[in-house]
Chain A
Amino acid sequence: MTESKREERAILVKMEDVHLAFGQTQVLKGIDLEVRKGDAVSIIGPSGSGKSTILRCINGLVTPQRGSITVGQTAVHELKSEAERIPLRKRIGIVFQQYNLFPHLSVLENIVIAPVRIQGVGRPEAERHARELLARVRLSDKEHAYPGELSGGQQQRVAIARALAMRPELVLFDEVTSALDPETVGEVLAVIRELVADGLTSILVTHEMRFAEEISDEVLFTEGGRIVERGSPASLFHNSSNPRIHSFINGLGSGAKTRESAL
């Protein structure tokens, strides 16, 4: 959430009527979405409702059959090959539920590999930036460790630093705390909260309702491949008339509470 009025900020991501099927299975059935520069938009919804697929459409990891997606000036739906999607991916960071770090590279190497190999940043500069990011995710003492030696929460913070190393315009977070022990959820959320406060544009798929309510400019609720409700955190969490949302939030409620006591 930044100071300036939301409507005045430029649109960074726009999805219009996006339809996607894997074989015979229709997964996205008309997604419309707008994210402005500096926004934090949260996507909540039951498992299998298409949340991850929405994120993966935005950086071209999957290609919808119908609809348009633009990121800045790039028409993502017009990119025809893997090679054409690479410049787009360089501008977008993504953090996965299972961290997906490169297991054979040290923490520092995991962070510098993309700037050095893809952007052609000099090694000293890349390492300087990596150390800055490690300080930011509070892992300065772990730069020589390997992913296999770290806890889930630590690995996830490295994954966040890796995503930020390319200085992305947008970061996608896909249930980044779902695989973590309750004690380590808080440390990861704290990092994201700071990034959002500093003006990072982000889309977060999350089951941490309190966290989503606290940091989001807008919350979307997905079900069966559609966004069935959207609005400010307050309107969606407290004033929604949709019984499905109530039962979804209440269904998560008990788990989310114990987790947040760890914050």
Chain B
Amino acid sequence: MLDSILAGFVTYTKSLGFNFGFLTSVYERTIWIDGISMTLILIAVTIPVSLVGGGLLAAALTSGRKYLSVPARVFVELTRNTPTLVQLMCAFLVVNMLISKALGGAQYNPFSPFFWVVAVVGLHIAAFHAEALRAGIESVPSATLEAARAIGFNRLQILWFVEFPLALRAALPAIVNNLVNLAKLTTVGSAIAVGEVTYASIMIWSQRDNVIELMIVILLLFSLINLLIARTGRWLENKLKVPGLGI
């Protein structure tokens, strides 16, 4: 059933001048499908990591406590201003190797290439979220904060119930942009052999002459994912919209 549908698809696209012949090979087909699902999983896992990381970094940046804000600022500047690919190499080839050494061999190292992609891309985007949120937090009027203190909120409650909700509304468009970038950035995983869609495609097209076909699919896939992210962002913006609040 599946085979005949695939065969039909391959024959039809061939008549249009495209070579999707790899789909009839179970081995290549599996690599490719696994690549697509790996990309989806990477994005789904990295988004929450970036959001939590961004929230914590923004909280540290605006805490007014030097021992929190200075390290957070250094991290944000380093992360924002250096290439993600280099960061990933550095994490995987240097940090990961040092961990392996310290633990007495790679077989004892619990950190996989997948982990390093999620960590590096997640924290890279977190630095951008943090800047957007920080600007939002700093734009909360001091009178509103004084009212929150006067009611008896502590520092964390003010952050959680007043500053974050207001900052999030102001920062949401920027955060959605960051998430679109995040989705695209997961392709750096191919550099350390994480089998996401570009890695899988490279493996297939290096055996066959079908770069254009696989490129088209990759471009369509990311367009679709990012359309979904942008739509979700829009939906959230509308949901959080407060009548009479000018953000």
Chain A residues with CB under 8 Å of chain B are 59, 61, 82-83, 86-87, 89-90, 92, 94, 96, 98, 100-104, 113-114, 117-118, 145-150, 162, 166
Contact = CB atoms under 8 A, between A and B. Distances in A.
A26 to B, nearest CB: 22
A114 B144 contact: no
A105 B151 CA distance: 15
Given A59-B150, A117-B161, A149-B244, A100 B144 contact: yes
Contacts of B161: 102, 113, 117
B167 to A, nearest CB: 10
Contacts of B157: 117-118
Contacts of A102: 144, 147-148, 161-162
A104 B242 CA distance: 6
B152 A104 contact: no
B165 interface: yes
B152 A148 contact: no
B166 A104 contact: yes
Nearest to A149: B244
Contact of B242 (A89, A146, A150): A146
A146 B150 CA distance: 21
Interface string B168-186: 0100000000000000000
A146 B243 CA distance: 6
A82 B155 contact: yes
Given A146-B243, A148-B242, 6 more contacts: A61-B146, A90-B152, A102-B162, A103-B166, A146-B244, A162-B151
A59 B153 CA distance: 13
A146 B245 contact: yes
A90 B148 CA distance: 11
18 contacts: A59-B150, A61-B150, A82-B155, A87-B152, A96-B147, A98-B143, A103-B144, A103-B166, A103-B244, A113-B151, A114-B151, A117-B153, A118-B157, A148-B243, A148-B245, A149-B243, A162-B151, A166-B151
A89 B153 CA distance: 9
Contacts of A104: 165-166, 169, 242, 245
B14 interface: no
Contacts of A149: 243-244
Interface of B: 141, 143-144, 146-155, 157, 161-162, 165-166, 169, 242-246
Chain B at the A interface: SS class: helix
Contacts of B141: 100
Contacts of A59: 150
A46 to B, nearest CB: 22
A96 B151 CA distance: 12
A166 B155 CA distance: 19
A82 B156 CA distance: 12
Nearest to A150: B244
A87 B152 CA distance: 7
Given A100-B143, A146-B245, A83 B166 contact: no
Contact of A86 (B146, B152, B244): B152
B153 A148 contact: no
| Interface hub of B147, B149, B169, B242 (most chain A Cβ within 10 A) | B147
B152 A89 contact: yes
B150 to A, nearest CB: 5
A204 to B, nearest CB: 16
| Interface hub of B144, B148, B151, B153 (most chain A Cβ within 10 A) | B151
B158 to A, nearest CB: 10
A82 B154 CA distance: 8
B152 A114 contact: yes
A61 B147 CA distance: 10
7 tightest CB-CB pairs across the interface, nearest first? Answer: A148-B244, A100-B147, A90-B152, A89-B152, A149-B244, A114-B151, A94-B150
Contacts of B154: 82-83, 86
Contacts of B169: 104
A38 to B, nearest CB: 22
Contacts of A92: 150
A98 B141 CA distance: 11
A115 B242 CA distance: 23
Contacts of A113: 151, 161
Contact of A103 (B150, B153, B245): B245
Contacts of A61: 146, 149-150
Contacts of A94: 147, 150
